[in-house]
Amino acid sequence: RPRPPFPMSCFGSSPKDHVVVKAGSVTQVGFLHTQSDTPNQDNGVIFEKPNKSNPALSYILACVFDGHGDFGHDASKLAGDQVRGVVEKTLDENPEADLTDTLKAATKALNDEMEKQSYANSAGCTGTMVLLRGRTVVCANVGDSTCIVVSKNQKKFSIRYRTVDHRLDDDKERERIEAAGGIIYENYVVDKVEQNKGLMVTRTFGDCDMRQNGVTDQPDYMSLDLTDDDKAIVIASDGLWDAEGYGFSKCLFTTAKNIKKSPGAIAQELLNSVLHDGPSDDCTVVVLTLH
């Protein structure tokens, strides 16, 4: 069911240090989960915190968590709650705190809390988190919920940045799993003990029993200074990116074609582009438009 776009927010106190951000999202249960009466295991998070005394310190947090396993929906909810809570607490106490350090503290707290959950041995989630303040955006990612930054130079749109998915088709990830003694079968990391169990992603929050197989819970981090050419940030679960015939070029085309619409409408158009009879996997899209 579509989620309404968040109201426009202005970050910064002068044209040189602020961007105008609108945020919106949409989510839909995949038909495979509909058939098995499984809840939506995705969790999209948009959290906006204005700073009235110093608008340059206002920030927005946008995330997508994609759960898997019987309790994947619990894992993705826990992830969203933990990351939002730590980010808010950290930036409330120190509004000028380093954004990368803030996300590192949030993911550490998440991993510590996840290890306490009884379901976390056999369930987990991916996570892609974007934290924006002023003109600085920091992204942390685990797994394959991809983030892209869409830019426009003159009349040409392009993808300025995208996260690298943590899967076996990435050579560095494959080498890391092999170095840890992990078992690889086709596109899966297979559990050494329960060899009927495996994961397509090589990094997750949760799935604690897969640590012995080289699967880690440590994110990659990226920091980027936004320019006037940057027009949108798109974060989506693999229900979008893995759809048959889909790819980054189609996402770029759809985003560019609808860039003047609200972010919620852009997110819906991206979802529509893979709908057909409905996405096979749960699909969540979060869009930030930058002005």
Mean pLDDT, all residues of the chain: 91
Instruction: Read off the pLDDT band of 196 (50, 70, 90).
Output: confident
pLDDT > 60? residue 78: yes
pLDDT for the residue 278:
54
For residue 247, what pLDDT is reported? 84
Which is higher by pLDDT, 269 or 10? 269
Span 115-142, pLDDT tens digits: 999 999 999 999 999 999 999 999 999 9
Q: What pLDDT score was predicted for residue 114? A: 98
Query: Residues of the chain with pLDDT > 70: what percent?
Result: 92
pLDDT digits (tens, 9 = 90+) for 3-16: 444 433 444 444 46
For residue 211, pLDDT over 60 is answered with: yes
Please write the tens of the pLDDT for every residue from 49-66.
998 888 889 999 999 999
Site of tokens 């936004």: 226
- pLDDT at residue 20, as a whole number: 85
User: What's the pLDDT score for residue 7?
Assistant: 39
215-246 confidence digits (pLDDT tens)? 999 999 999 999 999 999 999 999 899 877 67
| Cα torsion 239, 61, 46, 93: sign | positive
Q: What strands, in cross-sheet order, belong to the sheet with 198-199?
A: 183-185, 188-190, 198-199
**Using one digit for the tens of pLDDT, what is the confidence trace for 12-47?**
444 467 788 999 999 999 877 777 788 999 999 999
Q: How far is CA 169 from the centre of its chain?
A: 19
Overall average pLDDT of the 70-84 stretch:
98
Residue type at 216?
Answer: T
Three-class HEC string of 114-168:
HCCCHHHHCCEECEEEEEEECCEEEEEEECCCEEEEEEEECCEEEEEEECCCCEC
